[in-house]
Amino acid sequence: MNKIFRTSTKLLGVVCSGLVIGVSAIPQAVMAQQQPTASLSKVNPCPSIFYEEPHNNRVLVPQGCPPNAFTQRQATQGISPRETVPGTPSVSVIQPPLPEKQFDPVATITPSNGRVDVRLKNNTNAAIAYQAIGHTRQRVLLGRQEVVLRGLPVAITITAVRQDGGFLRMTPTTSESGLLELALDEATEFRNSQTAIRIQQDGQVYLN
Protein backbone atom coordinates (compact mmCIF):
# COMPACT_ATOMS: atom_id res chain seq x y z
CA MET A 1 0.00 0.00 0.00
CA ASN A 2 2.81 2.40 0.91
CA LYS A 3 4.55 1.55 -2.39
CA ILE A 4 1.43 2.39 -4.38
CA PHE A 5 1.03 5.64 -2.43
CA ARG A 6 4.66 6.66 -3.12
CA THR A 7 4.27 5.89 -6.84
CA SER A 8 1.09 7.98 -7.08
CA THR A 9 2.82 10.85 -5.29
CA LYS A 10 5.69 10.83 -7.79
CA LEU A 11 3.30 10.81 -10.75
CA LEU A 12 1.36 13.70 -9.27
CA GLY A 13 4.60 15.68 -8.85
CA VAL A 14 5.57 15.16 -12.50
CA VAL A 15 2.14 16.26 -13.72
CA CYS A 16 2.18 19.39 -11.54
CA SER A 17 5.68 20.32 -12.74
CA GLY A 18 4.51 20.10 -16.34
CA LEU A 19 1.53 22.31 -15.59
CA VAL A 20 3.75 24.94 -13.94
CA ILE A 21 6.07 25.04 -16.94
CA GLY A 22 3.16 25.26 -19.38
CA VAL A 23 1.42 28.06 -17.46
CA SER A 24 4.62 30.12 -17.11
CA ALA A 25 5.21 29.89 -20.86
CA ILE A 26 1.76 31.24 -21.79
CA PRO A 27 2.33 34.87 -20.59
CA GLN A 28 5.65 34.97 -22.47
CA ALA A 29 3.94 33.90 -25.69
CA VAL A 30 1.18 36.46 -25.19
CA MET A 31 3.71 39.22 -24.51
CA ALA A 32 5.64 38.31 -27.63
CA GLN A 33 2.48 38.64 -29.70
CA GLN A 34 1.65 42.01 -28.14
CA GLN A 35 4.99 43.65 -28.93
CA PRO A 36 4.24 46.57 -31.28
CA THR A 37 6.29 47.00 -34.41
CA ALA A 38 8.18 50.25 -34.91
CA SER A 39 6.94 50.55 -38.46
CA LEU A 40 3.33 51.14 -37.32
CA SER A 41 4.27 54.53 -35.88
CA LYS A 42 5.72 55.81 -39.15
CA VAL A 43 3.67 57.98 -41.46
CA ASN A 44 2.96 56.23 -44.75
CA PRO A 45 4.72 58.12 -47.60
CA CYS A 46 2.29 56.54 -50.12
CA PRO A 47 -1.14 56.99 -48.46
CA SER A 48 -4.18 55.36 -50.03
CA ILE A 49 -5.71 58.80 -50.70
CA PHE A 50 -3.52 59.00 -53.84
CA TYR A 51 -5.47 56.07 -55.30
CA GLU A 52 -8.94 57.33 -54.35
CA GLU A 53 -11.10 59.80 -56.27
CA PRO A 54 -10.60 62.61 -57.02
CA HIS A 55 -6.85 62.35 -56.18
CA ASN A 56 -6.47 59.28 -58.41
CA ASN A 57 -7.06 61.41 -61.51
CA ARG A 58 -5.69 64.76 -60.32
CA VAL A 59 -2.52 64.30 -58.20
CA LEU A 60 1.01 63.15 -59.06
CA VAL A 61 2.25 60.61 -56.51
CA PRO A 62 5.66 61.19 -54.79
CA GLN A 63 8.73 59.41 -56.10
CA GLY A 64 8.95 55.79 -54.95
CA CYS A 65 5.16 55.27 -54.81
CA PRO A 66 3.21 53.09 -57.27
CA PRO A 67 1.65 55.32 -59.95
CA ASN A 68 -2.02 56.26 -59.82
CA ALA A 69 -4.11 56.97 -62.94
CA PHE A 70 -2.97 60.61 -63.23
CA THR A 71 0.73 59.70 -62.87
CA GLN A 72 0.39 57.02 -65.53
CA ARG A 73 -1.21 59.47 -67.96
CA GLN A 74 1.64 61.94 -67.42
CA ALA A 75 4.20 59.19 -68.00
CA THR A 76 2.62 58.13 -71.30
CA GLN A 77 3.59 61.54 -72.69
CA GLY A 78 7.14 60.24 -72.79
CA ILE A 79 8.72 62.21 -69.99
CA SER A 80 10.32 59.78 -67.59
CA PRO A 81 12.18 56.46 -67.28
CA ARG A 82 11.19 53.30 -65.45
CA GLU A 83 12.42 52.80 -61.91
CA THR A 84 12.08 49.94 -59.43
CA VAL A 85 10.29 50.55 -56.15
CA PRO A 86 12.77 49.93 -53.26
CA GLY A 87 12.09 46.64 -51.49
CA THR A 88 9.99 45.24 -54.35
CA PRO A 89 12.45 44.38 -57.15
CA SER A 90 9.78 42.54 -59.13
CA VAL A 91 7.59 45.65 -59.48
CA SER A 92 8.55 48.52 -61.76
CA VAL A 93 6.74 51.82 -62.09
CA ILE A 94 7.04 54.87 -64.32
CA GLN A 95 8.20 57.90 -62.38
CA PRO A 96 6.96 61.39 -63.34
CA PRO A 97 9.55 64.11 -63.91
CA LEU A 98 10.38 66.47 -61.07
CA PRO A 99 8.23 69.63 -60.90
CA GLU A 100 11.12 71.92 -61.86
CA LYS A 101 11.45 69.99 -65.15
CA GLN A 102 7.80 70.68 -66.07
CA PHE A 103 6.90 74.13 -64.78
CA ASP A 104 8.33 77.45 -63.69
CA PRO A 105 8.28 78.22 -59.94
CA VAL A 106 5.30 80.28 -58.78
CA ALA A 107 7.07 81.65 -55.70
CA THR A 108 10.28 81.47 -53.71
CA ILE A 109 10.60 81.15 -49.96
CA THR A 110 13.71 81.27 -47.77
CA PRO A 111 13.76 78.21 -45.47
CA SER A 112 14.84 78.75 -41.87
CA ASN A 113 17.22 75.99 -40.80
CA GLY A 114 15.84 73.80 -43.55
CA ARG A 115 12.22 74.28 -42.44
CA VAL A 116 9.25 76.38 -43.51
CA ASP A 117 5.81 77.36 -42.22
CA VAL A 118 2.83 77.17 -44.58
CA ARG A 119 -0.46 79.00 -43.99
CA LEU A 120 -3.49 77.61 -45.83
CA LYS A 121 -6.47 79.98 -46.22
CA ASN A 122 -9.67 78.30 -47.36
CA ASN A 123 -11.58 80.98 -49.27
CA THR A 124 -14.28 78.53 -50.40
CA ASN A 125 -17.42 77.40 -48.59
CA ALA A 126 -16.40 73.76 -48.96
CA ALA A 127 -14.37 71.63 -46.57
CA ILE A 128 -10.89 70.87 -47.91
CA ALA A 129 -8.85 67.77 -47.09
CA TYR A 130 -5.12 68.56 -46.90
CA GLN A 131 -1.92 66.71 -46.02
CA ALA A 132 1.84 67.33 -45.82
CA ILE A 133 2.98 64.09 -47.44
CA GLY A 134 5.17 61.99 -45.16
CA HIS A 135 4.82 64.38 -42.22
CA THR A 136 1.13 64.73 -41.30
CA ARG A 137 -1.97 62.62 -41.64
CA GLN A 138 -4.89 63.84 -43.72
CA ARG A 139 -6.77 66.69 -42.03
CA VAL A 140 -9.83 68.80 -42.88
CA LEU A 141 -9.95 72.58 -43.18
CA LEU A 142 -13.50 73.94 -43.04
CA GLY A 143 -14.79 76.66 -45.34
CA ARG A 144 -13.57 80.22 -44.63
CA GLN A 145 -11.00 78.91 -42.13
CA GLU A 146 -7.19 78.94 -42.12
CA VAL A 147 -4.42 76.87 -40.59
CA VAL A 148 -0.63 77.14 -40.25
CA LEU A 149 1.59 74.08 -40.74
CA ARG A 150 4.74 74.84 -38.78
CA GLY A 151 8.26 73.49 -39.06
CA LEU A 152 7.83 71.48 -42.26
CA PRO A 153 11.17 70.17 -43.58
CA VAL A 154 12.03 70.89 -47.20
CA ALA A 155 11.61 69.41 -49.68
CA ILE A 156 7.89 68.91 -48.93
CA THR A 157 4.71 68.23 -50.92
CA ILE A 158 1.30 69.43 -49.68
CA THR A 159 -1.94 68.18 -51.22
CA ALA A 160 -5.37 69.78 -50.97
CA VAL A 161 -8.71 68.71 -52.44
CA ARG A 162 -12.29 69.84 -51.96
CA GLN A 163 -14.43 67.20 -50.29
CA ASP A 164 -17.43 68.11 -52.44
CA GLY A 165 -15.48 67.14 -55.57
CA GLY A 166 -15.22 70.70 -56.92
CA PHE A 167 -12.14 72.22 -58.53
CA LEU A 168 -9.56 74.08 -56.46
CA ARG A 169 -6.99 76.75 -57.26
CA MET A 170 -3.91 77.23 -55.04
CA THR A 171 -2.33 80.69 -55.18
CA PRO A 172 0.75 81.88 -53.22
CA THR A 173 -0.12 85.28 -51.72
CA THR A 174 2.75 85.82 -49.29
CA SER A 175 6.31 84.58 -49.47
CA GLU A 176 8.14 85.87 -46.41
CA SER A 177 11.29 84.47 -44.85
CA GLY A 178 10.33 81.00 -43.65
CA LEU A 179 6.58 81.51 -44.30
CA LEU A 180 4.49 80.72 -47.38
CA GLU A 181 0.82 81.68 -47.49
CA LEU A 182 -1.49 79.88 -49.91
CA ALA A 183 -4.99 81.03 -50.87
CA LEU A 184 -7.32 78.13 -51.67
CA ASP A 185 -10.01 79.35 -54.05
CA GLU A 186 -12.70 77.76 -56.19
CA ALA A 187 -11.70 76.99 -59.78
CA THR A 188 -14.31 76.90 -62.53
CA GLU A 189 -12.46 74.56 -64.89
CA PHE A 190 -10.36 71.44 -64.48
CA ARG A 191 -7.43 72.94 -66.41
CA ASN A 192 -7.21 75.79 -63.87
CA SER A 193 -7.28 73.52 -60.81
CA GLN A 194 -4.33 72.43 -58.67
CA THR A 195 -4.27 69.82 -55.94
CA ALA A 196 -0.60 69.77 -54.87
CA ILE A 197 2.21 72.18 -54.12
CA ARG A 198 5.90 71.30 -53.85
CA ILE A 199 8.48 73.33 -51.92
CA GLN A 200 12.01 72.40 -52.98
CA GLN A 201 15.08 72.47 -50.73
CA ASP A 202 16.18 75.74 -52.35
CA GLY A 203 12.82 77.34 -51.49
CA GLN A 204 11.36 77.34 -54.99
CA VAL A 205 7.63 76.60 -55.06
CA TYR A 206 5.88 74.59 -57.78
CA LEU A 207 2.19 73.80 -58.37
CA ASN A 208 0.63 70.64 -59.81
- pLDDT tens across 105-163, in order? 999 999 999 999 999 999 999 999 999 999 999 999 999 999 999 999 999 999 999 99
| 144 within domain boundaries | yes
161 and 206 part of one domain: yes
Tally of structural domains, the chain = 2
- Say yes or no: 119 and 183 in one domain: yes
132 and 167 co-located in one domain: yes
Quickly state the pLDDT bin for 1 (edges 50, 70, 90).
Answer: low
Spatial separation of the C-alpha atoms in residues 98 and 109, rounded to whole Å: 18
Please tell me whether residues 106 and 206 are part of one structural domain: yes
| 3-class secondary-structure state, position 126 | coil
Pairing of strands 115-122, 179-187: parallel
Residues 94, 100 contacting (CB under 8 angstroms)? no
Q: Nearest 10 degrees: CA dihedral of 11, 12, 13, 16?
A: 130
Could you tell me if residue 84 is inside a domain? yes
Q: Is residue 207 part of a domain?
A: yes
User: Domain for residue 208, yes or no?
Assistant: yes
What lies within 8 Å, CB to CB, of 190 at 6+ separation is 167
Same domain, 79 and 120: no
Strand partners, 158: 132, 197
- Residues 82 and 154 both lie in one domain: no
Edge-to-edge strand order for the sheet containing 128-132?
A: 107-108, 204-207, 196-199, 156-162, 128-132, 139-141
Residue 108 sits in the same domain as residue 93: no
Question: Quick one: average pLDDT of 38-53?
Answer: 67
Check whether residue 80 and residue 111 sit in a common domain.
no
Determine the Cα–Cα distance for residues 175 and 118; give it in Å rounded to an integer.
10
Q: Which range among 9-13, 51-55, 99-103, 189-193 has the greatest average pLDDT?
A: 189-193
- Based on the fold, state whether residues 92 and 65 are members of the same structural domain: yes
Per-residue confidence at 6, pLDDT binned at 50, 70, 90?
low
Asked whether residue 190 is domain-assigned, the answer is: yes
In a 3-state reduction of DSSP, which class is residue 17? Answer: helix
Do 54 and 155 belong to one domain?
no
- Asked whether residue 172 is domain-assigned, the answer is yes
Residue 194 lies in a domain: yes
Contacts of 151 by beta carbon, 8 Å cutoff, 6+ apart: 115, 117
Can you give the pLDDT at residue 43?
64
The DSSP code for 97 is P
List the domain range (segments joined by +) for residue 106.
102-208
Same domain, 186 and 89: no
What is the tens place of the pLDDT at every residue in 85-94? 344 333 333 3
Q: Contact 80/61 with Cβ under 8 angstroms? A: no
CATH number at residue 156: 2.60.40
User: Using CA atoms, how far apart are residues 72 and 161, in angstroms rounded to an integer?
Assistant: 20
| Separation CA 52–CA 68 (nearest Å) | 9
Residues 115 and 204 in one domain: yes
Neighbours of 2 (CB within 10 A): 6
Establish if 92 belongs to a structural domain.
yes
| Its pTM surpasses 0.75 | no
